[in-house]
Each structure stands twice: as C-alpha cells, then as structure tokens.
Amino acid sequence: MIWYIVGLLGAAIVAFVVWRYTSVARGARKRDQQLFMLVDPIAEKLAAGDSPSPKQIEGLASLPQIRGFLYELLKHFERLDLFPEKFRDEIAQAETRLAYWMMHPNELQEAPDEIELVETVTRTIGNESCRFHVFKFTMPDGHWAGDDWLLGLAGPYIDGQPPYTGIAGAFSRCADKFGDVAPEELVDWYVAMAARKGG
C-alpha cells in the first residue's frame, strides 16, 4: 500500500512539473500573440514597401511592453532609422524587459500603468560590472496586485551589448512595495536567487 501511495505521489509531482513547464510556454505564446497583433499593421506596411508614419512608430515605442518587438521588427526590415532615438538607451530597454516579463500569464498578466526608474545598482558578477535598473510601477485600476507602487528590476546589463539584446532578465515580487524595500536589497536577493538556480 505504501508503495502505491509513493507511486501516486511521484506521478503527481511529475505531472505538476510537466504542467508547470508547458504552462510557461503556453503563457509566453499567449502574451506574444497579443503583442504581435499590435505590430502587425507596421509589418504589413513595411512588407508592402510603405513607410509607417512617425506617429505610428512613436505610439508603439512609447509602450514599454511592445518596444522590443518593434525594434526587432524594424531591424528585420532594415528600417531601424524609424526607431525613435529616445527609446534606444539602456533605461528604455530595461523598462521593456520588465513590462514584457510582467505580461506573462504566470506573472502579473498585464503591463504596468506607470513605470519610473528608482535607482541603478551595480554589482560585480564574475569579472563583469553589471547594472541592474530598479523601477517602481503601478498596475492598471482594479488589478489584483493593488494600487500601491511596487518595485521590479531588469538586468544585468554590461557594457558593449547591442540594443535590445543580451542576457538581461526581469523580476518583481508583489510584496515589494516602494519605500518598504531598498533597491539594493531587491537586487541582492535577485542575484543570490539567480546564483542558486545557476549553480
């Protein structure tokens, strides 16, 4: 009887791991489909040999969750000249990483309503000087995470990376309210967690 229970428990754990792994992939596809719909009109114009209006491009680039997709689309069509200069810096890229991560169905499910840089924290990892950009953000009205300013981060960023590429990730915890948790504390927690997972 005990082996039967152990077997059932083992099967349940395996089923959960498989479900969790596939749910992450399913969620990513769902999020990406939403974002592809926003850039489709630009892609259609470029594919037809037309130029989208600067207003169209500016409107999409101002949304951090779509900014990376737009950059890659314009790069594909060799029209990066259309991408606004003000969204090429590292802070704009970090906003994009965080907002994109937040939209995953297993995370916050939506992009932030507002997002502002709080602090850039530098840590040495290996032999590299790495920058982590810590933001405060609020979610849209009625969101389950509440209406407090929360903290999130994107990084690591290192010198010499081409725009919208690299190893930077993003993360946020719903309990990290702006003013309650120091940016350095959030970065140190994130670095330690990543080191545990990687090692």
Gap between the Cα atoms of 63 and 112, Å rounded: 10
- Tell me the average pLDDT across 163-173: 88
Mean pLDDT, the chain, whole residue set = 85
- Tell me the average pLDDT across 12-16: 39
Does the predicted TM-score (pTM) go above 0.85? no
Contact (Cβ atoms closer than 8 angstroms) between residue 120 and residue 184: no
Identify the H or E element spanning 56: helix 54-61
Task: Kindly report the number of other CB atoms within 10 A of residue 113's CB atom.
Answer: 12
User: What are the pLDDT digits (tens) for 42-80?
Assistant: 999 999 999 999 999 999 999 999 999 999 999 999 999
User: What are the pLDDT digits (tens) for 59-69?
Assistant: 999 999 999 99
